[in-house]
Structures are given as C-alpha cells and as structure tokens.
Amino acid sequence: MGQTTLARGRAAVGAALFLSAIGGCASVQSSGGDAAICASDAVRVYADFPAAGRHDCIIAPDGAIIVTVDHEPSVEDGINPSPWFALRLEAQAAGRHTLVLDYPGYDHRYSPETSTDRMSWRALDTANIALSEDETRATLTLDLAVGDNWLAGQPIVSSREQVEWTRARLAPAGFREVEYGRSLQDRPLIGFIGGNLDAPDVYVALTRQHPPETTGQDAFRGLVSRLVDRDDAAIESFLSRHKILLAPMANPDGVDGGYWRLNRGGIDLNRDWGPFTQPETRAITDWILRETEGRNVIAFMDFHSTNRDVMYAPPLDAPSPTIDFLPYLEQRFNATLAAPPEWSYAHNENSGTSKGWALDVLKAPGITVELWDETPQADAERIGSVIADALAAYFAE
Ligand SMILES: [Zn+2]
C-alpha cells in the first residue's frame, strides 16, 4: 500500500510539473504570496485552515480540479480508511466545475458536504458523485457560488470551535474549565468539571480521539445539551449527586491537521490507553484518575463514528458495580428511538482502548458510542439526549 501511495503521489507531482513546463496558459499551480494549492482563472483551491485536509492539486487541461487526499504520517504501515478531505474553493464567478478526489490506495468513504459560509452544510446530491470502479477516485460535479465554497467529508468543526461550543453550553451551568495537559504540538487539552464536585460518584465522557468522527461529536453534544437544558427534579437530582467530567476534544492536533485517524505522534490514541506513549493519552488518564480518586465511576463513554450506530460495551458479567446500567440504557434506546443502535458486548484485554481501560482501571462500564458516518445530526444528538435521560433516571436515586 505504501509503495502504491508513493508511486501515485509522484505521478501527480510529475503531472503538475509537466503542465507548468508546457506553460498551460489557463492554470497555475500556485502564485507568489497566495496559499492556493492550485488555481485556474476561474477557481483557486485552498487547504490552509484548521481541519483542512492534506491535499495537493492540479488543474487538468479540461479545467477539472484534481485533488489528492493524503493521510498523516503513521508509525504503522497502513491506516484506518477514513480519508478526510476539506477544501475551500474560491470562484471568480458562479458556475459548474468538476473536481476529482484521488485517494491513493484507499476507498472513498465520506459523502461530500458543501457550504458557502462554513456554518450551514448540505450533502452533495448523489447524482453529482461518480466513483471509479475501484472507488479510489470520486468525480464530483460542483455548482460553485461566486466567492468562498467549502467542500468537506463532514461539516468542519476545528478544535477551537468544538471547545468554544462546549464552553458556551457548560459555563452558564456552572461547569469549571480546566487545561488538563498539552498536545504534542502544544495545543491545550481542555476538560470541563461540573455537577457536585464532592460527590462520591463520577460520570466521564469524551470525544474526537479520531479526527473525522463528527457524528460521534454530534451525539456528545446532544448529551451535553440535555444535561444542561433539561430542567426537572430527575436531572437536578442526578447533577447534585454526581461529579461530571467532559473532554470535548481529545486529539486537537489530529483534528486541526486534517488527520484521518492518528495524533501528531503517528499513533491511534484509542489504542494507546495502556501503552501511554503519547502526551494526549497520558494527560487525559492522569486527569481522570486525579478527579476520580477514591470515587466510583458509574459510567464512561467515548464518542466515535463508524459504518453504523453501535454501542461497544463490556460483557454483562464484567466486574463492575454499575454494569446493569448497560441493559437499562439498551432498553431505553429500544423504547425511545425509531432506529435504536446495535449493541456488542465484549472485552479485549490490552486492546488499548479507552473502554477497556475504563473497565480494567476504573471498574466502570465503558462504552464506545459509535454513530454511523451518515447519521443525521438531529438523530445523533437524540442518541446523546437519551443517554442523558437514562443516566438521570437510573442514577438519580
Ligand atoms: Zn473512532
């Protein structure tokens, strides 16, 4: 796979040089003082913002924009196939353009989303997406507006935006913000602590260990919103009897670097809860251990995305005093959701996942909460909201 990637990468660079050498009059690969990665008279292409993909591009003789989609440096050969792309296209005039996403050695995964303001997004119509037979190239037909057009695998949420969103929800509810560490590239690792800080029972949730997994983040946000918005005796009782730890951005370097899976150290952080080779996993576990010392962790949830809605939970005979919360939550999902998530109950020793660590070290029922890549935002938020309601109902007394 590495070999193929290199060869294809070189071919793209070679084509770019060849085009400039023959002096294609309608296109340049970049111009002085401008960070465009390629440009024609009609469109300039940028990947210079937080969470932009790792792209190079050229303009084909027919005007098509050819974009390579690369992954971050990885310690191990091969990387989880989550080819993230995010670009800004600046158009001189409104018009229709062809853009090819070239995934060297990997398959197209994320259905393209488009935006003109980076805030509201819409899925590109499937009629405007054509995949090559081996699915390693996606040809998109884009109707660009004059000015900025954003194209990405999911709505773009940078590390700063996710922390700001969480702060805006939690600060008014009295949550305290802490910097529990720094990432490898020295970005702040931010957590929030709320509820009853002296309570003997603690609930822990985190998200964005894996950068493109934003539907998991949507569910995390649904949980946060429900915890602070719901105003009744059950939630009040839950918050008054529990300390709450929330980590909204576990891998800021990966998110802002447009990574597919890893941190800046080239490691999958959700395989590092055990080896602890990276500052992000060391910092978050030190923080959780400090804040939960001498207390019970009633539940631990880590929000992700995959090819379906599924809860990865430990077996129901696992040695945890609150393991029975899991079938209760499953039943709440089944009773309240039109399309409840699947459940998978298993524990792999030394897997290095946060879920395994939560069970082994905290004796807490840890769940990897996985949302389908394509789960609509409202449905993902609803799953988070049902989790909050289930916590309140089960643990309020
Ligand atoms: Zn994940």
The phi and psi torsions of 7 (rounded to 5 degrees) equal -60, -45
Q: What is the pLDDT of residue 10?
A: 34
What pLDDT is stored for residue 3 in this prediction?
36
* Dist. CA 252 → ligand 1 center (Å): 14
Cα of 237 vs its chain's centroid, Å: 32
Give the model confidence (pLDDT) of 281-337 as tens digits: 999 999 999 999 999 999 999 999 999 999 999 999 999 999 999 999 999 999 999
Q: Is 306 helix (H, G, I), strand (E, B) or coil?
A: strand
Give the per-residue pLDDT at 13: 37
> What pLDDT, on the 0 to 100 scale, is given for residue 396?
81
Ligand 1 center from residue 305 Cα (angstroms): 6
The dihedrals phi and psi of 55, each to the nearest 5 degrees, come to -125, 150
**Ligand 1: distance of its center to the CA of 257 in Å?**
16
Task: Tell me phi and psi for residue 392, to 5 degrees.
Answer: -60, -45
Say how many Å lie between the CA of residue 104 and the centre of ligand 1. 22
For the whole model, what pTM was predicted?
0.91
Give residue 350's pLDDT: 82
Considering only CA atoms, give the Rg of the chain: 22
> What residue ranges in 1-53 does DSSP mark as E strands?
27-28, 38-40, 43-46
Asked if 28 contacts 7 with a C-beta cutoff of 8 angstroms, the reply is no
Distance 183 CA to ligand 1 centre (A): 18
Q: Give the Å distance between the CA of 260 and the centre of ligand 1.
A: 10
What is the Cα–Cα distance from 284 to 263, expressed in whole angstroms? 14
Instruction: Output the tens digit of pLDDT for each of the chain's 397 residues.
Output: 333 333 333 333 333 333 333 333 444 444 445 799 999 999 999 999 999 999 999 999 999 999 999 999 999 999 999 999 999 999 999 999 999 999 989 999 999 999 999 999 999 999 999 999 999 999 999 999 999 999 999 999 999 999 999 999 999 999 999 999 999 999 999 999 999 999 999 999 999 999 999 999 999 999 999 999 999 999 999 999 999 999 999 999 999 999 999 999 999 999 999 999 999 999 999 999 999 999 999 999 999 999 999 999 999 999 999 999 999 999 999 999 999 999 999 988 789 999 999 999 999 999 999 999 999 999 999 999 999 999 999 998 6
Q: What is the reported pLDDT for 33?
A: 56
CA of 306 to the centre of ligand 1 (A): 7
Neighbours of ion ligand 1 (CB under 5 A): 210, 213, 304
Domains in the chain (CATH in brackets) are: 2-152 (2.60.40.3120), 159-395 (3.40.630.10)
